[in-house]
Structure 1
Amino acid sequence: MTTPEIQKAQTAREEYFLDKGMDVEVETEADEEPPEIDRPWNPEQIRVNTKQFSLRNALDMIDDESLELAPDFQRGRVWKSVQKSQLIESVLLQIPLPAFYFAEDADGLLRVVDGLQRLSTIHDFVRGGEKSGFALKGLEYLAHVEGKRFDELPAPWKRRINNAQIMAHVIDPTTPPEVMYDIFRRINTLGTPLNAQEIRHCMSRPRSRRILKEMTSTDAFYQATGMRNHIRMNDREMALRFAAFWLMGLDGYVEDAAMDPFLHRATRLLDSVGEVDDDKVARIQADFNKAMTNARLVFGDHAFRKWPEDVSWRNPINRPLFETWSLALARYDTDDLVRRKDAIVAQARSLMTHDFRYLEAITSSTGDVRRVMYRFRLTEMAAEAGK
């Protein structure tokens, strides 16, 4: 790496959403690498059925939990009042809504993956009631219903909403999960696209969602990262990375050779009591909590962030640093780290200043197997400093 490249790598680039910094560093892949979506699979494995529903039918399915709006999915709620109202106005004007995409599981449960914000908005308006349902605001054409809630609309307008037809493409449960994920990545283009963890959240079962939520809701995690209910679910992804490497190790990563399929497999494991029982989940969570406590103890405000020797500012969280240091620090007792923390910090900062290969491994093409193995090996060695 040349000096300008080194300086660029040392200065982290932060992710933004709705013009707000996410305090998480952008992960980049090399332009010359083929996108992971091109990983081969048999086109005959794709099974998609197109179905038509009335909005009343869709809302009933949401209420009886046969159509699931992924819980804890905060980004579905970020639309402003005018955006929500204009969606309802479009329905009242009988403008067809874009197609929805649902994932069906073996029990017949449907999960919304594409169209979550639209269905959440309509459900809030129609079924929210007087206290939680919102009033229409900022309408462009139907000024005479401005300020009204659903219950206050004339009966013909209510019927128009309830009887409106929507088209949904339903991915059959026999479609392999990795194929299903790729389908949703391909069609995920409207509005602000979902990121990988948001798609996994929508496609996963309640058990893995609960586990990841519990892992990221502790004081120890907040003290180490400053994150709480991250709007883009970066906190859940980082907890999932820890669980994935805890469960499958580097050998498991080599088998998948890319981060997305590795994390999909970890999600499926966490969803299965037969594969990962409650006792093992408790051990994962205990080790994760220990790692967060130790990271704060050793690195303070710079935990999981690039911190070269000549840098004093606080960079955003770096996910490769998070996965490697959290796994490394989970193995040590607090008393041991108190004695050695200055040596560990010095070694970690030296790596981020002088070892250009290590800096590359936490900056670009971070899913490359060789870079993953290199950063784990060097981090484990740094964690031994001062012994």
Structure 2
Amino acid sequence: MTSLTPPEPTEPPEVREEYFNNEPMGIEVEKEADDENPDIARPWNPEQIRVNTKQFSLRNILDLIDDDASLELAPDFQRNQVWNHGQKSRLIESVLLQIPLPAFYFAEDADGRMRVVDGLQRLSTIHDFVRGGTTSGFHLKGLEYLGEAVEGKRFEDLPAPWKRRLHNTQIIAHVIDPTTPPDVMYDIFKRINTGGTPLNAQEIRHCMSRDRSRRILKEMTSTAAFNEATNNLGGHRRMNDREMALRFAAFWLDGPEGYRRVAAMDPFLQKATAKLDSPEEVDDAQVAALQDDFAKAMRNARLVFGDHAFRKWSLGADWRLPINRALFEVWAITLARYEQADLQRRKQAIVDTARKLMTEDYIYLDAITTSTGGITKVFYRFEKTAHAAEAGR
């Protein structure tokens, strides 16, 4: 592997955990440098952007959702809904007040099937309210304007005029043509991602991807090995578990040298998603090997690092920090190459070397904390981690 060394920072980076709705997510924040601007580094060709604008009634949209072959609300995403009861109720109130909804964005595939990307939470909320019944439907709560008129009511309890108003509401949808390249489509959705709780990068990838990659990543993060190594991160509310599994898959498929050709994390992960979706590029035998290596890496990480697997763990500090994505990526790929008997014999030497690295090497710490997608940082952390994994030989 080519040795590339980033500039050395003057002090260790701060560790901050991601929070959502005041709830810790168990994942360390990845920071970008102040001068980092990936959009400028990857300009679009305007001729590749093809968008059609269409108008639908909400009744039409709900029918399309119920017809599984027409409009997809990303399976597995509903249970990870991130809006609270009050946000959902106020959206329904806005519709009843005839306040125009922001435009929606759909991705259309070659078969004419559309996937909701921007507006997923809004349409899921409306669908749950209107078509959910007493199972997944909800009652209106905490309204600001309509108050007693509809407070506490479910859809079936609304007077007929209110139901008609909701059904007849018109929405605007911008549909991205299937001829638009996937990386361009992803960048479009990343730019226009709106709403009360914007989707993160993995949630956007999930909405754009096909069933095959979703199933593979879900299976990888639903195993006992993964949950034991990550303190039960499987089924993460914001899909950070699947992003970590995707990072492993991306480097397992293409390695750091493959990353050099792409030179940015988002397109690298988007490329890996497309490969997992294509049996021609990654057949079922390769998927089985990928999942076996992933489970092996999880067992090995638990064996060597215990409760501190994939977390910063400096000398003299024994409290458990949140999981670090970059550490997950490099240690999982590295440990998948070793057998348990070998690691069992050398694990104390590996831990001591790794902890020293995370205490004294500020370049390494920076490479797993700030602008982690930089090529020099990716190569540096892989090189140093590989060296640490050889400790005790």
Measured against the shorter chain, the TM-score band is over 0.9
Is 2:315 aligned against 1:331?
no
Q: Residue 25 of structure 1 corresponds to which residue in structure 2?
A: 28
1:171-320 matches, cutoff 5 A: 171-226=176-231, 227-320=233-326
- The whole-number CA distance in structure 1 between the counterparts of 2:106 and 2:40 is 20
Alpha-carbon shift at residue 93 of structure 1 (Å): 1.5
8 Å CA contact 1:75–1:232 kept in 2: the answer is: no
1:31-110 matches, cutoff 5 A: 31-36=34-39, 38-65=41-68, 66-74=70-78, 77-110=81-114
- The whole-number CA distance in structure 2 between the counterparts of 1:2 and 1:254 is 23
- The whole-number CA distance in structure 2 between the counterparts of 1:307 and 1:86 is 44
Alpha-carbon shift at residue 86 of structure 1 (Å): 1.9
Q: Which amino acid aligns with 2:112?
A: G
- The whole-number CA distance in structure 2 between the counterparts of 1:353 and 1:122 is 50
- The whole-number CA distance in structure 1 between the counterparts of 2:100 and 2:40 is 30
Normalised TM-score (structure 2): 0.94
Alpha-carbon shift at residue 74 of structure 1 (Å): 5.0
Alpha-carbon shift at residue 98 of structure 1 (Å): 1.0
Alpha-carbon shift at residue 130 of structure 1 (Å): 3.0
Alpha-carbon shift at residue 82 of structure 1 (Å): 2.5
Q: Which amino acid aligns with 2:266?
A: D
Q: Which amino acid aligns with 2:227?
A: Y
Q: Residue 3 of structure 2 corresponds to which residue in structure 1?
A: none
- The whole-number CA distance in structure 1 between the counterparts of 2:41 and 2:80 is 28
Q: Which amino acid aligns with 1:47?
A: R
Q: Which amino acid aligns with 2:315?
A: E
Identity of paired residues, percent?
73
Q: Which amino acid aligns with 2:310?
A: F
Alpha-carbon shift at residue 2 of structure 1 (Å): 6.5
- The whole-number CA distance in structure 2 between the counterparts of 1:346 and 1:36 is 40
Q: Which amino acid aligns with 2:89?
A: S
- The whole-number CA distance in structure 2 between the counterparts of 1:299 and 1:145 is 55
Alpha-carbon shift at residue 192 of structure 1 (Å): 2.1
- Structure 1 segments (4+ residues) deviating >4 Å: none
How many residue pairs were aligned?
Answer: 383
Report which structure shows greater RCO (CA 8 Å, sep ≥6).
Answer: 2
Alpha-carbon shift at residue 375 of structure 1 (Å): 0.8
- The whole-number CA distance in structure 1 between the counterparts of 2:76 and 2:188 is 23
Q: Residue 120 of structure 2 corresponds to which residue in structure 1?
A: 116
Alpha-carbon shift at residue 198 of structure 1 (Å): 0.9
Q: Which amino acid aligns with 2:122?
A: R
Q: Which amino acid aligns with 2:60?
A: N
Alpha-carbon shift at residue 189 of structure 1 (Å): 3.2
